[in-house]
Amino acid sequence: MALFAGNINDLNALYTTQLRFLLSTEEQIIEALPKMIGAASDQQLKDALQSHLQETEVHAERLEDVLSELNGDIDSKKCSVTAALISAGENTIKAANDDAVRDAGIIAAAQKVEHFEMASYGTVRSWAQILGHTEQAALLNKTLQEEGHADKLLTKISERANPAASIAA
């Protein structure tokens, strides 16, 4: 794997590598979200995931813009952390028989992904600033804010929806 091949010699190379992993993260989320929306029962949860899917498409486009400005290509690198988070979420969704319990599992899975994205975008935004890529930092910060907003909205939904899961038979 390129990450361990010893070709990351400076922060610029590390920055580009992390952006490629993040593009893979967004691509995997774009694939996974429609399945989560289909499996969700709560209408507010479905709507929140649907609008975040549209935001996620923009997140991927922003990364493509940044990568092409840096390197002239928009190749992603498969992020195995995202793959593991999504697959764990899908397993929970499959195993849940009750609608409210399944929704609680979907919220949990989605929030884990949001927090992973927030950690990742916080890092690349800081690196962009250090490296003097001011416009890229602003773009990455926009995405970071949207991930944070999505996470907060999921917390709000969970406060209403999770008690319903607690009374499932």
Q: Specify the residue, 118 or 164, whose C-beta has the smaller distance to Fe ion.
A: 118
Cα–Cα distance, 1 to 8 (Å, whole number): 12
Q: Which stretch binds Fe ion (CB under 5 A): 15-23, 75-83, 145-153, 158-166?
A: 145-153
Q: Which two three-digit tokens encode residue 163?
A: 């008690």
20 binds Fe ion (CB under 5 A): no
Q: Which x/- pattern over 108-137 shows residues binding Fe ion (rule: CB under 5 A)?
A: ---------x--------------------
Q: How many C-beta atoms surround the C-beta of residue 117 within 10 A?
A: 24
147 binds Fe ion (CB under 5 A): yes
DSSP 132: T
Sites for Fe ion among residues 52-91 (CB under 5 A): 56, 59
Name the residue with the smallest CB distance to Fe ion. 59
Q: Which two three-digit tokens encode residue 92?
A: 């929970």
Smallest gap, in angstroms, from Cβ of residue 19 to Fe ion? 13
Cα–Cα distance, 94 to 41 (Å, whole number): 14
Smallest gap, in angstroms, from Cβ of residue 135 to Fe ion? 19
Residue with tokens 């975008």: 121
Measured CA to CA in angstroms, residue 62 lies from 77, 114, 126, 146 at distances of 16, 17, 16, 13
Residues in contact with Fe ion by CB under 5 A are: 56, 59, 117, 147
